[in-house]
Structure 1
């Protein structure tokens, strides 16, 4: 019973993302800095949607003598096209977000991982087009590539779409402007480290009491 509910919530997020995309709004970026990652996958997603449209037209021709079946198949085809466009919309309206305390790494409605900046050990620009699953590593691949590698001082919990927990200490993900993201993350991490190591202000001495 849990899996159908999870899938239903996922599809609802896609539909909400589609509405936000049409309204030209973003999802929960707040006062942070947003970094997009959907630029490279747009043509692929719209190509997939076009294939779905062609398939829908072909099925309409094949099932023209079976109107009841045709109506059911047509509804399913339209819903499939909406979900495909919704996946791209979710990638656009749910960017990575960097604020003063954390880096939020996202991929459409599938991945949403918030990493406290005090747990960041290093971040670097690293383009990878091949990935192998390994314990303690998370690859948030977009268009068959990742462009940023983030190493952590201690594991953070990542929950999959189906609710399974994985503890990860290394995260690879993609950003359209990877160089800028790396610079900004380094700057924020440095600010966090300086704030943690700065000496606390000494209390002001009490004034002398009159005799």
Structure 2
């Protein structure tokens, strides 16, 4: 990826974080979910504790540096970076909350990780879905040697979706990857799997 494309992706991500935060603050409801048709599958609650820890650490760091740094210019730079860090933690949580996974009325599946990942899987590509708790130590969208992609939240996944054939998707930094199975986190994995099986007309496991 060229520097220009990387800069454009970063700018787009910042814009999506901002719009997600505004949607979250104004309680406008989840993004990309058609009322009465699609079923949102929330996952943000799995990261509440981690988000609070990061936010607390960012606030403490910002306050401490503001009190300790005596040089005006360095003080201003540290303050701006500290405030941006606090905003980023809140915006990331907001993007997770307002951009849930989505099970379409037609049985399709849209897997997301905030504003970073957006993967669409047609119903005819879904072979099976099951509740399965795993603890992968990978970044969002990472694909292992078996072609399984992980979208872990707070280091865990609760749903595994197997495909009839691999699909390509765009990873966080813009690279293209291919996976034949996806493991994601859902707050209520049992209900999510049951709904996906019913809408995609999958055989029970």
Deviations 1:18-40 (A, max 9, x none): 11110112211123110100112
- Unaligned segments of structure 1, at least 5 residues: 194-211
TM-score by length of 2: 0.88
For the residue of structure 2 that corresponds to 1:28, the secondary structure is coil
Q: What is the 5 A alignment of 1:109-188? A: 109-130=115-136, 133-188=144-199
1:81 to 78, 83, 86: 86
- Unaligned segments of structure 2, at least 5 residues: 139-143
TM-score by length of 1: 0.86
Deviations 1:160-187 (A, max 9, x none): 1222111211100010010000000000
Distance 1:46 1:11 in 2: 21
- The match for 1:8 is 11
Q: Please state if 1:94 is matched with 2:105.
A: no
For the residue of structure 2 that corresponds to 1:39, the secondary structure is helix
Q: What is the aligned-residue RMSD (CA, Å)?
A: 1.6
Distance 1:93 1:188 in 2: 23
Deviation at 1:108, TM superposition (A): 1.0
Q: Please state if 1:61 is matched with 2:67.
A: yes
Contact kept? 1:131, 1:139, Cα under 8 Å: no
Distance 1:150 1:131 in 2: 19
Deviation at 1:135, TM superposition (A): 4.7
